[in-house]
Structure 1
């Protein structure tokens, strides 16, 4: 494994920790600034919206720049945002720090996915992307419980100082371990990157990302209420149950990456279909503690197992200009999060109960499956007629026409 992938994974760990740890620190933050929990919750929503802006805006702005220096600059932005959060004397400045840190999130994972794929042979690209995203999953399994504990024991600001330190480690790692390789291809341009969006397969891939992650996060956003109010667990058990969910994320991400290197569309079809089944069963069996534990792990595994394939697919069909499309897919993940949370909230507000967001998530996932079936079918029918644009095989051939590793810089 190229050591550069380890540096990317460490950065992913820090970024994932920034995104998710605030959920466990909201009571402390709300009490410190004298705001309601709902107001404190905007720190989560504001972060997600800033991710979308950064994923598209900063990625487009950095298109013509060498990728390694861009990644390092984004980490400097990340460190600055978390440092601002750590010293923020007011709620408004804390929100500003969250937004600054979030701006690097989408662009880093979008550009980082291209760099990760460039560090290995073309047939191992999805696995390399999975390694980078392992940092994000590890943030859920280990980082969030530890960060929450740290914030409760030493104050929530201590957590943001530790995250800033992780950012420094990742910055040094990328500076020393990620190679600065050159490409003989023409210099990238925003116009050429935008041309990738002429592909119907790119748009179908983005839609699958929105709906696929919307389904999982529609269920996950309100999972604490489901676990305590429906499944009957004590509130103190929730963090440990979320660790199990995180373990499912790690396992699913690893398996999904390996399988996607063999067949992207086949893997996505299988995992999305399995996720729809798991969510349907979860909505039905949420009252059973034993079934809940099993299905919670399965939800994380099948849900996050789609990530390497989804990211690889959009990059494959935008093979000649993958950077902006990759960033757009990170934005699509976050739009899916917002869609799922909104739809699940509507179900609860309508009085359908705390298990209803899981059922809503199952419906959204079924919609993702329908779109994925259409995408795969149209790709198969076009195979061989438009090489390099519409089929998995053709997309792979297009990618292999040039040395993938040479596109790092």
Structure 2
């Protein structure tokens, strides 16, 4: 690999991609810190306001495969710029929404570019560096999303509590516009892997069984996170006894945990992908269950939330690497599909958390649901690993299989 793919040469482009991740992360997660404020201002219940989270997630699910498919005639750089511009527009419309119903629609529109941006951006980030560093390069792009939970989301929570929720979405729109300009300036058009997409190959890659098992794993593991995170503000104030002002600081701690998990997870995945994936899902199940107890103690609650955030976000590079590896040389649609899966998880988690709260089981109940979902995710991941080791789902005649799978298929045959 030439020096052109060295980390220092790739850094400006990776930072630009991370700015986009920061904008999207702030736009996605800010609503969770200001959910009580939005509910009160729009005169709806907190579980009803939680539908705004689900609407955004549904937009990601629809937009990820759709926008990647319709962008096949564009370079990946042009696609990324257009997606960030659309994201900025969607958040501008959210800031201008006259009521709950309009906000529900604009949150859906804001979510449309999310999955496609991360899906295409992950492929571009991986193509900027040598193969041994690709997971870490992708993790750097996702670091923008995790850092948003250290800076963007807490500041948005503070802004929402003091200025209202509309300036929050207006600020997210401005950051999205900045990200579009950053990608336009810093990402090289001729970067490795920047050729137009081939839709037929992308669809074939997406239909592989191991790709779908990875998507199911992502959905279950992600739903575990969002079942808790969607209602973190009322959980902390109504169960743990924190003041609304303290929630901002705890969201910073949560964001630090996300960033830590993202960095550590990427390094472990580069060493041993599937063992790392199993370990992260098992820890997610255990820590979620532990949260049932620690929510009643402020210090223990803070410590558990940090570990929970680190564990759940360590899954992100593992799942992204897994699905790109299984998609072979047509990874774009599959990479975007995992973002769709994670936002199915977002919608599912927000819905399940609202269901158990509305059923009168209390604000600790989402933690129990989160633990059960993580156990289910671990079971699916273990089944996927078993099928892969058996060689039954590989075909050495398929030119689009990743090199590792072709080798295993040849050995099995």
Which TM-score band applies after superposition, normalised by the shorter structure? 0.7 to 0.9
Root-mean-square deviation (CA, aligned residues, Å) is 2.9
Does the 8 Å contact 1:16/1:136 carry over to 2?
A: yes
Instruction: Give the Cα separation in 2 of the matches to 1:195 and 1:393.
Output: 16
> In the TM superposition, what are the counterparts of 1:132-281 in structure 2 within 5 Å?
132-181=141-190, 188-281=197-290
CA separation of 1:284/1:343 partners in 2, compared to 1, >3 Å: closer, same or farther?
A: same
Does the 8 Å contact 2:51/2:351 carry over to 1?
A: no
Encode CA deviations 1:123-170: one digit per residue, 9 max, x unaligned.
211111111111111111111121232344444333333222212221
Residue in 1 that maps onto 2:354: 345
Deviates further, 312-321 or 283-292: 283-292
TM-score by length of 1: 0.88
Instruction: Give the Cα separation in 2 of the matches to 1:254 and 1:323.
Output: 23
Instruction: Give the Cα separation in 1 of the matches to 2:361 and 2:399.
Output: 44
What secondary structure, in the 3-state scheme, does the structure 2 residue paired with 1:21 have?
A: helix
Encode CA deviations 1:288-347: one digit per residue, 9 max, x unaligned.
333212111100000011101101111110022111111110010011122223333333
CA separation of 1:94/1:286 partners in 2, compared to 1, >3 Å: closer, same or farther?
A: closer
Structure 1: tracts of 5 or more residues without a match: 399-409
* Pairing 1:13–2:17 present: no
Residue in 2 that maps onto 1:116: 125
Instruction: Give the Cα separation in 1 of the matches to 2:304 and 2:399.
Output: 38
CA separation of 1:307/1:244 partners in 2, compared to 1, >3 Å: closer, same or farther?
A: same
Note the C-alpha offset of 1:362.
0.7
Instruction: Give the Cα separation in 2 of the matches to 1:280 and 1:33.
Output: 33
CA separation of 1:352/1:40 partners in 2, compared to 1, >3 Å: closer, same or farther?
A: closer
Encode CA deviations 1:213-232: one digit per residue, 9 max, x unaligned.
11122222233343334334
Encode CA deviations 1:182-219: one digit per residue, 9 max, x unaligned.
77999633221110133221011101101111112222
> In the TM superposition, what are the counterparts of 1:228-377 in structure 2 within 5 Å?
228-377=237-386
Residue in 1 that maps onto 2:404: 394
Does the 8 Å contact 2:156/2:168 carry over to 1?
A: yes
Note the C-alpha offset of 1:88.
3.8
Instruction: Give the Cα separation in 2 of the matches to 1:75 and 1:177.
Output: 14
TM-score by length of 2: 0.87
What secondary structure, in the 3-state scheme, does the structure 2 residue paired with 1:217 have?
A: helix
Instruction: Give the Cα separation in 2 of the matches to 1:102 and 1:342.
Output: 17
Note the C-alpha offset of 1:178.
0.7
CA separation of 1:370/1:36 partners in 2, compared to 1, >3 Å: closer, same or farther?
A: closer
Instruction: Give the Cα separation in 2 of the matches to 1:126 and 1:227.
Output: 34
Instruction: Give the Cα separation in 2 of the matches to 1:237 and 1:384.
Output: 50
What secondary structure, in the 3-state scheme, does the structure 2 residue paired with 1:11 have?
A: helix
Deviates further, 9-18 or 383-392: 383-392
What secondary structure, in the 3-state scheme, does the structure 1 residue paired with 2:190 have?
A: coil
What secondary structure, in the 3-state scheme, does the structure 2 residue paired with 1:299 have?
A: helix
Note the C-alpha offset of 1:28.
5.2
* Pairing 1:53–2:62 present: yes
* Pairing 1:125–2:134 present: yes
Encode CA deviations 1:354-401: one digit per residue, 9 max, x unaligned.
222111111110111111111122222329975689998705989xxx
Note the C-alpha offset of 1:251.
0.4
Residue in 1 that maps onto 2:78: 69
What secondary structure, in the 3-state scheme, does the structure 1 residue paired with 2:197 have?
A: coil
What secondary structure, in the 3-state scheme, does the structure 1 residue paired with 2:328 have?
A: coil
Instruction: Give the Cα separation in 2 of the matches to 1:163 and 1:220.
Output: 20
Structure 2: tracts of 5 or more residues without a match: 1-6, 409-413
